[in-house]
A and B are shown apart, each in its own frame.
Chain A
Amino acid sequence: MAILVNNKTKAIVQGITGTQGSFHTKLMLEYGTKIVAGVTPGKGGQEVHGVPVYDTVKEALSEHDANASIIFVPAPFAKDAVLEGINAGLELIVVITEHIPIKDTIQMVEVAKRNNVNIVGPNTPGVITPGECKLGIMPGHIFKRGPIGIISRSGTLTYEIASNLTKAGFGQSTCLGIGGDPIIGINFVEALEMFANDHETKAVVLIGEIGGDAEEKAAEYIRKEFNKPVTAFIAGKTAPPGKRMGHAGAIISGRTGTAQSKVKALKDAGVHVVDRPREISEKLKEILS
């Protein structure tokens, strides 16, 4: 099972000829991800690591069967690339690009919703179902297949926790980076809903951070209807208010977005919130034994 991506996922890479696009196409192919085509306007006819490049998504899809896309297009052109993917009929679009204007993200997320397209990100490391499909920029070797679902707003902190879990013997069903921006596609609640319906996933790890109220919303959902055990770590307990801590979305504004509020909401919902990333695997041992 797993969620969002599996060995049937066939993907295209939008922005495949750029430095990042080309580099990660190679790594995704090495991991075993089925990358069937790439798109860069004006570069149609070329090849990148053996993957044929087209000028438009429609053209790529007329030659290849694909249901997903991963986007490395620079921020000023990212909304256009997402809309192109939606218009061509893709079901899942992973937006790696950072620094997309909020106005653009609001629009592309809305269009995706109206067309039943799943957006992961923006500003995400992507999504991986270990052993089947890596649609993202995460280091593949730190993941191992197993019963833990991971949902996270960050990149390297996720790798920190995932590699701890792998070392402790807890593999992952799917690890999803939902993105560090204020406006994102799939959020914590929607990802939890997906894990609720995934029989392979026995427990979920939620990695949150300051800013917004997505963790509070997740807590409310968990309290009401999520039946699998959840452990969580929230980053930014020492962050000062009003300062952006690296991620566009990691900012305490006024009274909303503090780590304390998130920790409290999650604890009240029965989530095991830990103080140190390393304690997550210890908690899982307790819960799952």
Chain B
Amino acid sequence: MRLYEYQAKNIFREYQIPVPEGQIAETPEKAVEIAKSMSRPVAVKAQVLVGGRGKAGGIRFANIPEKVAEIASQLLGSKIKGVEVRKVLVEEKLEIERELYLGITVDRSARKYVAIASSRGGVDIEEVAEEHPEEIIKHYIDPLLGFHSFEAREMVKKMGLRGRDLILAADILNKLWKIVEDYDAELVEINPLVKTRDGKIIAADARLIIDDNALFRHSEFKEVLKSEKRELNERELKASERGLAYVELEGDIGIIGNGAGLVMATLDMVSLYGGKPANFLDVGGGADPERMEAALEIVLSNPRVKVVFINILGGITRCDWMAKGIIEAREKIKTRVPLVVRMVGTLEEEGKKILEEAGIDVLDSMEEAAKRAVEISKQLAGS
């Protein structure tokens, strides 16, 4: 779960990591009110969960409250990289002397958390890693001993910081580790960490991603989760309620399968034969007829879908149950959208019988079925 910048900054405040003075606004009036109360130049920052927000015009500056009103009314309701801006963060504009980078994330190959520091902040850290690898300082955190103050100091020293700056930045890095531990973060990042002209070290931005699998032990995010759900479209919302892994794509061929790898491969086959998948939907292992029914309802409720390709490989999943779910969904929705079903494995004969009695052809090969689905989608697009 990604937190908005303002939510991450609220957590930073709990840990006494310095952040710019500021507040969140949902209306231009509120934004002006905040700016007035600060009586100095401000930054107005669109709260969206996409990278490259600054370049896309989502961060603007204003010296007078009238300008804040103008910027806020432009940003609120607009879209940045396809995502609607519902809130803006109005905060003091920092007088920047230099920009640094601090972050902690998960290194999959090392199977450890890794702390990363760089004296090149304010730019894409992956770019820095490619172009100036010598400017990236990494420390793999011992999974059993954790991260210690001296390790943070050693890293910050390597960034070239000295004196008070060294102590302040090391302290912030240490606190980031506390946040990782306390909140099950997969990523916490300050980019840029700013040294201001008057000598303060402040987290100008904040990124925080919480491990979805750890949310069961973080009831404090219940409200955040609810607000996150508001960002989903009705199909995504329904899938999330039913615990189905669903990702919407741009095409017109609906895809349902069991098992993430198989569904990904199914999308790939459809693309290989020249089709465009409308979605990824994994019903999971051992699904019952109701799950398949819900899956098909969700996929069919997408108006772009012209044909649905269902790919079932029965292991612990029963083909007869999947067939029942398909039939029930079709009767309920009374759809004319053609279905292409590929079904092999556990209770395959029973499943095929159910579908064939209902007039649905069943194929054995996923490649052939993908080809068929693509042909149908092209015929329908042409008609």
> A residues engaging B (CB < 8 A)?
20, 75-76, 99-103, 106-107, 109-111, 125, 137-139, 142, 152-160, 163, 180, 182-184, 187, 207, 209-214, 217, 233, 235-240, 243-250, 254-255, 275-278
Contact = CB atoms under 8 A, between A and B. Distances in A.
A243 B109 contact: no
B303 interface: no
Contact of B272 (A217, A243, A247, A276): A276
Interface in B265-321: 265, 267-272, 277, 280, 282, 285-286, 313-317
B264 A106 contact: no
Interface stretch (B28-36, B209-217, B373-381): B209-217
Contacts, number: 169
B247 A250 contact: no
Contacts of B271: 237-238
B177 to A, nearest CB: 12
A159 B345 contact: yes
A186 to B, nearest CB: 11
A247 B280 CA distance: 12
Given A101-B213, A249-B108, A277-B366, A107 B144 contact: yes
Contact of B345 (A76, A139, A183, A209): A139
B111 A76 contact: no
B40 interface: no
Contacts of A184: 111
Interface stretch (B58-66, B253-261, B327-335): B253-261
B interface: dominant SS:
mixed
Given A152-B261, A245-B245, A254-B126, A103 B109 contact: no
Contacts of A137: 285, 315-316
B313 A180 contact: no
23 contacts: A100-B213, A101-B213, A101-B217, A106-B106, A106-B111, A110-B144, A137-B315, A138-B315, A139-B314, A139-B345, A152-B261, A153-B261, A154-B262, A184-B111, A236-B268, A238-B249, A238-B277, A240-B247, A245-B247, A245-B260, A247-B260, A276-B272, A277-B366
A73 to B, nearest CB: 14
A160 B312 CA distance: 10
Contact of B313 (A110, A152, A159): A159
B49 to A, nearest CB: 10
A180 B245 CA distance: 14
Contacts of A217: 109
Nearest to A101: B214
B151 interface: no
Interface in B342-368: 344-346, 365-367
B263 interface: yes
Interface residues of B, number: 52
B250 to A, nearest CB: 9
Nearest to B313: A156
Given A180-B260, A235-B261, A246-B245, A278 B367 contact: yes
A158 B272 CA distance: 20
A180 B263 CA distance: 13
Interface in B191-226: 211-214, 216-217
Given A137-B316, A155-B285, A182-B106, A277 B265 contact: yes
Residue picked from A184, A210, A276, most chain B C-beta under 10 Å: A276
B262 to A, nearest CB: 4
B382 interface: no
Contact of A102 (B106, B259, B269, B272): B106
Contacts of A156: 257-259, 261-262, 285, 313, 315, 317
B184 A103 contact: yes
Given A20-B286, A152-B261, 19 more contacts: A99-B213, A101-B211, A102-B213, A106-B112, A125-B315, A139-B315, A154-B261, A157-B265, A160-B366, A182-B106, A217-B109, A235-B261, A238-B277, A244-B247, A245-B264, A246-B260, A250-B261, A254-B126, A277-B366
A180 B109 contact: no
Contacts of B258: 156
Contacts of A275: 268, 272
B213 A110 contact: no
Contact of A210 (B144, B264, B345): B264
Given A109-B111, A245-B260, A238 B267 contact: yes
A13 B279 CA distance: 37
B109 A212 contact: yes
A102 B211 contact: yes
B261 A180 contact: yes
B284 to A, nearest CB: 8
A25 B314 CA distance: 19
A184 B364 CA distance: 33
B163 interface: no
B264 A246 contact: yes
Contact of A239 (B144, B280, B285): B280
A261 to B, nearest CB: 13
B247 A154 contact: no
Contacts of A163: 344-345
